[in-house]
Amino acid sequence: GAVVSQHPSWVICKSGTSVKIECRSLDFQATTMFWYRQFPKQSLMLMATSNEGSKATYEQGVEKDKFLINHASLTLSTLTVTSAHPEDSSFYICSARGLRGWNNEQFFGPGTRLTVL
């Protein structure tokens, strides 16, 4: 149980285009999903927290107009990188937490590698 998937697993796009990454909880309902960014040989940095049916909460320094997050259902959250640039190239990882509240650990997706040319 507690499986989180991401799609696509990798994507290459041209500078200026937008890319959508999906995060799904496959066997549980996720009231909260988290989006992280990981640069090579670095730790995960939390970008934003999204709760189903409400606006995402972005961490300081993360542009909410550039990284659009939608959490439309209890099993799906999407991250759209708008007008992507090479500096947006990174490994994006989502995680999901279930209905039972904060004591539940976060379950992580396999990640999406974005390369912007």
> Are 71 and 19 in contact, with CB atoms under 8 Å apart?
no
Q: Which residues lie below 8 Å from residue 85, measured CB to CB, with a gap of 6+?
A: 15, 16, 116
Residue choice 24, 37, 71, 97 for contact with another protein (CB under 8 A): 97
CA nearest neighbour of 96 among 85, 87, 104: 104
**Structure letter (DSSP) for residue 87:** G
**Is residue 106 within the footprint of another protein (CB under 8 A)?**
yes
Count of positions on this chain that bind another protein (CB under 8 A): 24
Question: CB of 72: closest distance to another protein in angstroms?
Answer: 20
CA nearest neighbour of 4 among 111, 114, 105, 107: 107
**Is residue 108 within the footprint of another protein (CB under 8 A)?**
yes
What residues between 54 and 83 interact with another protein by CB under 8 A? none
Question: CB of 34: closest distance to another protein in angstroms?
Answer: 8
Encode burial over 53-80: b for 16+ CB neighbours within 10 A, e otherwise.
eeebebeeebeeeebbbebeebbbbbbe
**Contact code string over 6-45 relative to another protein, x by CB under 8 A:** x-------------------------x-x------xxxx-
Chain contacts with another protein (rule: CB under 8 A): 4, 6, 32, 34, 41-44, 46, 49, 91, 93, 95, 97, 102-103, 105-111, 113
